[in-house]
Chain A
Amino acid sequence: MRYLIKKACMMLFTLLVVSLCVFLAFSLIPGDPALRQLGTNGTPEQLEALRQQMGLKDPLPVRYGRWLLGLLRGDLGTSYVYKIPVGSMLAEKIPITLSLALISFVFMVLISVPLGIYTAKHKDGVLDHIVMVLNQVIMAVPPFFAGILITLVFGMILHLFTPGGFISYKKSVPGFIGYLIAPAFAVALPKAAMAVKLLRGSVIDEAAKDYTRTAYSRGNTTNGVLYRHVLQNALIPVITFLGMALADMVAGSIVIEQVFGIPGISRILLTSINNRDYPVVEAIIMGIAFLVIFINLLVDVIYRIVDPRIASGDE
């Protein structure tokens, strides 16, 4: 419990540092949001008035403080361009992107865990060789390209889904999930390939350790040794990878949303960057940072459940 509190404090501190970096970065890069909004037609007086109104004239620390306090209250600021609260702009999009990342994660686990175990168990078997070669290929293919291929094969040729025919979760949840399957697959594939390789290696390493010999000496079957002894040990390094992959998938979803025409946060992010709509960009980056840090915390907690050696290390 004390560990959790310690970790949570660290997490808050990290977030604070991230917020400072994000804020400074967008304050220091060239480009004037006021000028961008008015265009070149605005008079210098108008420009000055708008800067005053947007709070751009205040000193940096004051602006940072105001923004941070807003964040703490759950107020993400107001979009420069659309003049509406950022929170309401993102509210509809976040579930879409998160669903895509979660479905991708589920795919990754469902593909990699059974295959990793199977290829380790039947090392040098036919399927092992096939999977290892395929793995190399898939790892080298970026998700957007896999996305294009999937759209072509499953969408255009096999007609298993309608490319670009996104269905909102508000209209039909099954339809929504159904549309996300293909993009989720594209996101999950390269990660699953890496996870298979990692798990396979980990199982093979663990299976060579002394405790498996002990397990056999007690009359365990091969499966008994594998599932009751080896697997829990072998999963320890894989859990770290899965955690990192999940965090990465939230970011990775942004690219794939463009390929599949999914109205998640990617479109808002890209247009906001173009329009120098900093409050929106900052909010999205803070959100992703929060997710990454939170997932790390989660991985730490799971780690301690799976590996008792870590838990007793800091008591």
Chain B
Amino acid sequence: MNGEIILTVTDLHLVFHDHDTPEIAVDDFDLTLEEGEIVGIVGESGSGKSLSALAIAGLLNRKSLKKSGRIIFDGVDLLTCDRKTLRGYQGDEISIIFQEPMTSLNPVKRIGWQVEESLRIHHPEIDKETRKKKAISMLEKVGLHDPETVYKLYPHELSGGMRQRVMIAAAMIGEPKILIADEPTTALDVTVQAQIVELLKTFNRDYGTSIIFISHDLSLVSQLCQRVMVMYQGNVVETGTAEEVFSEPRQAYTRRLIAAIPKIRL
């Protein structure tokens, strides 16, 4: 962490107009992300953490959704810039992995093709062979055995944990500055969860990638993140270093959240 701020989100406000009365999904969300930093966002379902993440990734395009505020990356406001500029960052500078590894990959395309996609889109100058080499070394890096074989497989031939590794490989192949991990371990079993968290740590260390880690699992967040934000009903209710938030929570909601962790201390 050398302290240079690469992402600033201010006054992010997201309102759905699906029904007669507008529904506020995110009321007030502010975030500054430093280079090489891992920030955790915790909160219960519906607290607005995933929507904020999707907004940063530029994936909220519904007409019924009103967005306001600023998401400044690389001197550009991602909320108001044109689609072409936004696409230039997506997958190249800002990548995202999702909660549903089982369905987030295209079922009819080979793993290698999907892992290479960002390179194909953003760096067409890289030739096929180099691209393949990069994809295979990335598949190896995310801990998949026999990456040459995996390269040729289809998603349904892999387990959930393996698919999430593939998603990470595809997200990291362009060596993005920011990786958004939207509950990446929720659908996985506990041993795999720990491995995925380790993997994210490795990428953070080796590539200097800043990570926004969204989860409702406080123990994972405390293992991984230097800074934590607690969200409740569309608002950021508490923010601080992981240590501060978990040992001296100031808000009643945070205390309740921490108290809700099942304790198995032997």
- A contact set with B: CB distance below 8 Å: 209-211, 213-221, 224, 229, 232-233, 236, 306-309, 312
A312 touches B157 (CB 8 A): yes
With a CB–CB cut-off of 8 A, which chain A residues contact B96?
217
A211 and B106 contact, CB distance less than 8 A: yes
- A225 and chain B: residue at smallest CB distance: B106
Q: Is the CB of B104 within 8 A of A214?
A: yes
> Roughly how many angstroms separate A236 CA and B107 CA in the complex, as a whole number?
12
Give Cα distance in the complex from A279 to B198, angstroms: 75
- Chain B interface (Cβ < 8 Å from any Cβ of A): 57, 59, 87-92, 95-96, 98, 100, 103-109, 117-118, 121-122, 154, 156-157, 167, 170-171
Contact between B105 and A211 (Cβ–Cβ < 8 Å)?
yes
Q: Do A214 and B167 touch (CB < 8 A)? A: yes
Which A residues lie within 8 Å of B157 (CB)?
Answer: 312
Instruction: Give the one of B57, B105, B106 with max A CB within 10 A.
Output: B106
Once the chains bind, are B121 and A220 in contact (CB under 8 Å)?
yes
B118 touching A218, Cβ below 8 Å? yes
A residues in contact with B104, CB < 8 Å: 210-211, 213-214
CB distance from A74 to the nearest CB of B (A): 41
B167 contact set on A, CB distance < 8 A: 214
A306 to B107 CA separation, bound complex (whole angstroms): 10
* A312 and B106 form a contact (CB under 8 A): no
Residues of chain A within 8 A (CB-CB) of B106 are 211, 214-215, 229, 233
Q: Is the CB of B87 within 8 A of A221?
A: yes
Query: Do B108 and A218 have beta carbons less than 8 Å apart?
Result: no
Nearest CB in chain A to that of B170: its residue: A218
Cα separation A213 to B51 with both chains bound (whole Å): 13
Q: Using Cβ atoms and an 8 Å threshold, which residues of chain A touch B121?
A: 218-220, 224
Asked, given contacts A209-B103, A211-B106, A229-B109, whether A218 binds B98 with beta carbons under 8 Å apart, the answer is no
Contacts of A219 in B (CB 8 A): 87-92, 118, 121-122
Q: How many Å from the CB of A235 to the closest CB on chain B? A: 9
Residues of A close to B103: CB separation below 8 A: 209-211
Give the docked Cα–Cα distance between A236 and B109 (Å). Answer: 13
Which residues of the partner chain B approach A215 to less than 8 Å between Cβ atoms?
106, 117
Residues of A within 8 A of B88 (CB): 219
Q: Which residues of A contact B156 (CB under 8 A)?
A: 308-309, 312
A308/B98 contact (C-beta < 8 A), A229-B106, A233-B108 known: no
- Of the listed residues B57, B103, B108, B156, the one surrounded by the most CB atoms of chain A closer than 10 A to its CB is B108
Excluding A217-B95, A218-B90, A224-B121, 11 further A-B contacts by CB distance (< 8 Å) are: A209-B103, A213-B59, A214-B105, A215-B117, A217-B91, A219-B88, A219-B121, A220-B121, A229-B109, A236-B108, A306-B108
Once bound together, how far apart are the Cα atoms of A215 and B109, in whole Å?
12
A236 to B95, CA, bound (A): 30
Q: What's the minimum C-beta distance from B163 to chain A, rounded to whole angstroms?
A: 11
A209, B108: Cα distance in complex, Å:
13
Point out the residues of chain A lying under 8 angstroms from B118, CB to CB: 218-219
Closest to A224 in B: B121
* Residue numbers in A under 8 Å from B95 (CB-CB): 217-218
Closest CB of chain A to B31's CB: distance in Å?
19
**Of the candidates A217, A229, A306, A307, which one forms a contact with B90 in the assembled complex, judged by CB atoms under 8 Å apart?**
A217
- Complex Cα spacing A75 to B104, Å: 56
CA distance in complex: A306, B154 (Å): 12
19 pairs of residues in contact across A and B, judged by CB atoms under 8 Å: A210-B98, A210-B103, A210-B104, A211-B103, A211-B105, A213-B59, A214-B104, A217-B171, A218-B95, A218-B117, A219-B88, A219-B89, A219-B91, A220-B121, A233-B106, A233-B107, A307-B107, A308-B156, A312-B157
CA distance A202 to B137 in the complex (A): 36
Task: Tell me the minimal C-beta distance from A311 to chain B in angstroms.
Answer: 9
Do the beta carbons of B87 and A309 come within 8 Å of each other?
A: no
Contact B107 A218 (CB under 8 A): no
A312–B100 CA distance with the chains assembled, in angstroms: 23
| C-alpha spacing A229/B105, complex, angstroms | 10
Q: Can you name the residue of chain A whose Cβ is closest to the Cβ of B84?
A: A221
Tell me the minimal C-beta distance from A14 to chain B in angstroms.
Answer: 29
User: For the complex, what is the distance from the CA of A211 to the CA of B102, rounded to whole Å?
Assistant: 10
Q: What chain B residues lie within 8 Å of A224 (beta carbons)?
A: 121
Most chain-A CB neighbours within 10 Å: which of B57, B96, B104? B104
A217 CB contacts on chain B under 8 angstroms: 57, 59, 90-91, 95-96, 171
> Nearest Cβ in chain A — how far from B222, in angstroms?
27
Most chain B CB neighbours (cut-off 10 Å) among A217, A220, A309: A217
Report B150 CB to chain A, min CB distance, Å.
Answer: 14
CB neighbours (8 Å) of A210 from chain B are 98, 100, 103-104
Inter-subunit contact B109/A214 (CB<8 Å) = no
The 8 closest A-B pairs by CB, nearest first: A218-B91, A219-B90, A219-B91, A210-B103, A211-B106, A308-B154, A218-B118, A219-B87
B57 contact set on A, CB distance < 8 A: 217
- Collect the chain A residues with CB atoms within 8 Å of residue B92's CB: 219
